[in-house]
Amino acid sequence: MECPKCLTKNPDTRKFCRECGHKILLICPQCSFENIPGDKFCGECGYKLTELSEATVVDFSEPQSYTPKFLADKILTSRSSIEGERKLVTVFFADVANYTALSEKLDPEEVHQIMDGCFKILMDEIHRYEGTVNQFTGDGIMAILGAPLAHEDHAQRACHAALSTQKSLSKYAEKIKEDYEVDFQMRIGLNSGPVVVGAIGDDLRMDYTAVGDTTNLGSRMESMAGPGTILVSGNTYRLARNFFKFESLGKIEVKGKKEPQKAFELIKTGEVATRIGASIAKGLTRFVGRKKSMAPLLDAFDKVKSGSGQVVGLLGEAGVGKSRLLLEMSNLLPKGEYQYLEGRCLQYGGSMAYLPVLDILRSYFDIKEGDREFLIKKKMAEKILDLDEKLKGVIPPFQSLLSLKVDDQDFSRLEPKEKREKIFEALRDLMIRVSQEKPLVLVVEDLHWMDKTSEEFLGYLIGRLANTPILLLLLYRPEYTHPWGSKSYYTKIGLDQLGTQSSSELVKAILEEGEAAPELTQLLLNRAAGNPLFMEEFTHTLLENGSIKRKDEKYVLSGKATDIQVPETIQGVIAARLDRLEENLKRTMQVASVIGRDFAFRILQTITGMREELKSYLLDLQGLEFIYEKNLFPELPG
């Protein structure tokens, strides 16, 4: 098997590269799940891995030959509703620094071999974050994150992809230096902005039309970046600044631009990984309007303290305050009287098995980024044996789960299904034992992005919680469905939009240094529609761009309300949610939105030409909380 980092050939039995020590994984072509060498079947979808060919031929002129199947399927099944759409994206440009000098020193075949290895690393990292490679040049690529499928966090994904690319390439460069005695470095440039998606062919060829200078500025950032560095525009910095460390380069002259442009060097990931974390770092706005939702949470914790396990689902669309409610609850619970562990699903993590579970384990065992294998094993063994020596048997399953070398040969010889059973049992045993010391509050966020294996484990755990002091809190959006509602110890808390009074209180809390003019308050209430995240993002954006100004202790609009655009952060959340809809539902939403914020059934029916099926689509959209009936007796034909 070939190492994905340094491309050294390794025996199929090795789990770590003999050259660079990198973890070797077997990527399933069906679902892109990461399997360990030696696995006969995929741990996520059951695909027979022994049928994989020794090498897959990649033709850089044919997108279907290098696009992972799971990503290709997503694109092709929704392309008719994507074509012609305007998308907010981050463009990713990368090329080899001093490529001409390298080409002059080496034979063409050697250069070709080096670039093939480089392109493989670039593709792996871009596809890992569900980006698409749009163009290959002789010495680099152009990729797009956020199109054709919208991503609300496209700028963050691009930054993650750029950092992981440079990290992988630094290892690759060591091998190039050793084999060819040449220095190999790439420079990367990022810019965020709008594009229009053109036609998408059966072969995954895609056309994009740049709006403004989206691609041009991204290309300029790359050409001005130093070897081995990542240069981002002010647009990308604004969207990602809360989650990464940047170094400002001030304003620089950019070819084709009249005014100097802000540029920043991307240094590393920051300490904040979530929106709520970013809000905490900036300073939280006063908490308003959720007293009724807090009561059942505190009631569930009281039941758990008496030994009755509880499962609570916090249901609500993006931005309504699920994470904030959780934070406020934890502040109200008695300090030191409970254990808190949290795992999070990622939008691009659907093919990463056990992702939220791994978060929980790393937190419990205090595993840090960059910890060596021997240290991870030491931390894990000490923590488990200090808790209870009878738990010694959970160590091999956890070693396997964390992709470490398993010390127990009997466990290593088990079939994949048996290993999974052992892992489930080990997780259950650890969590129940931990809860016997103190009540355990176990949180899993963003279940709507959860991988199948984690979902199955949650179902397994929920079936065994009834008589344990464990409070399992599950946060998810309306589009996610689950089978746990029939449990007597399951409680659903639905968070809807804030009412007018609470929304007005939130505006006052955000603009606490002055009073908001009535027309400003009304604008914010109308545009944000009671969504706390939208309200905060909208208000802060207007303050930053000067659309809101403070005069005589009062905040007022500095221009016309009709000229104010929805911030990119909000557009990204809405677009990403729409792209997850079935095609017919998305089309219905698009037409309805053209009619206006309020629309009549008869008008929508006339425009779409649909009859009975339109009723069904509207009911589905209502169930997903995209639309609401405004009248008690809706205008539907009998």
DSSP annotation string for 141-152: EEEEESSSS--T
Give the pLDDT score at 10: 65
Residue 130 in this model has a pLDDT that exceeds 90? no
pLDDT tens per residue across span 384-405: 999 999 999 999 999 999 988 9
Residue 27 in this model has a pLDDT that exceeds 70? no
Nearest 10 degrees: Cα torsion 327, 330, 331, 336: -150
Higher pLDDT, 246 or 555: 246
DSSP annotation string for 552-604: TTEEEESS-GGGPPPPHHHHHHHHHHHHTS-HHHHHHHHHHHHH-SS--HHHH
Beta strands in 48-131 (DSSP E): 86-96
CA angle 621, 591, 614 (to 5 degrees): 50
Residue 266 in this model has a pLDDT that exceeds 70? yes
What mean pLDDT comes out for the span 250-279?
85
Tell me which of 336-350, 533-547, 582-596 is least confident: 582-596
Give the pLDDT score at 53: 39
Can you give 63-75 as a three-state secondary structure string? Answer: HHHCCCHHHHHHH
Q: Which residue has the tokens 């792996």?
A: 124
Q: Name the most confidently modeled range: 54-58, 144-148, 350-354.
A: 144-148
Cα dihedral sign for 258, 259, 262, 263?
positive
pLDDT tens per residue across span 510-523: 888 888 888 888 88
What mean pLDDT comes out for the span 75-98?
79
pLDDT tens per residue across span 583-638: 777 777 777 777 766 777 777 778 877 777 777 777 777 776 676 666 654 555 44
In sequence order, what are the residues at sequence separation of 6 or more whose Cβ sits closer than 8 angstroms to the Cβ of residue 139? 95, 96, 99, 115
Give the pLDDT score at 517: 82
Mean pLDDT of the chain: 82
**Adjacency order of strands within the sheet including 548-551:** 515-516, 554-557, 548-551
pTM for the full predicted model = 0.72
Residue 417 in this model has a pLDDT that exceeds 80? yes
CB atoms within 10 A of CB 326: 20
What mean pLDDT comes out for the span 492-516?
85
What mean pLDDT comes out for the span 227-240?
93
Tell me which of 431-440, 564-573, 611-620 is least confident: 564-573
What mean pLDDT comes out for the span 323-343?
90
What mean pLDDT comes out for the span 141-168?
89
Q: Name the most confidently modeled range: 148-157, 226-235, 574-583.
A: 226-235
Query: Which residues are 26's β-sheet partners?
Result: 35
pLDDT tens per residue across span 216-233: 899 899 999 999 999 999
Give the pLDDT score at 637: 47
Nearest 10 degrees: Cα torsion 73, 78, 79, 80: 150
How confident is residue 61, by pLDDT bands cut at 50, 70 and 90?
low
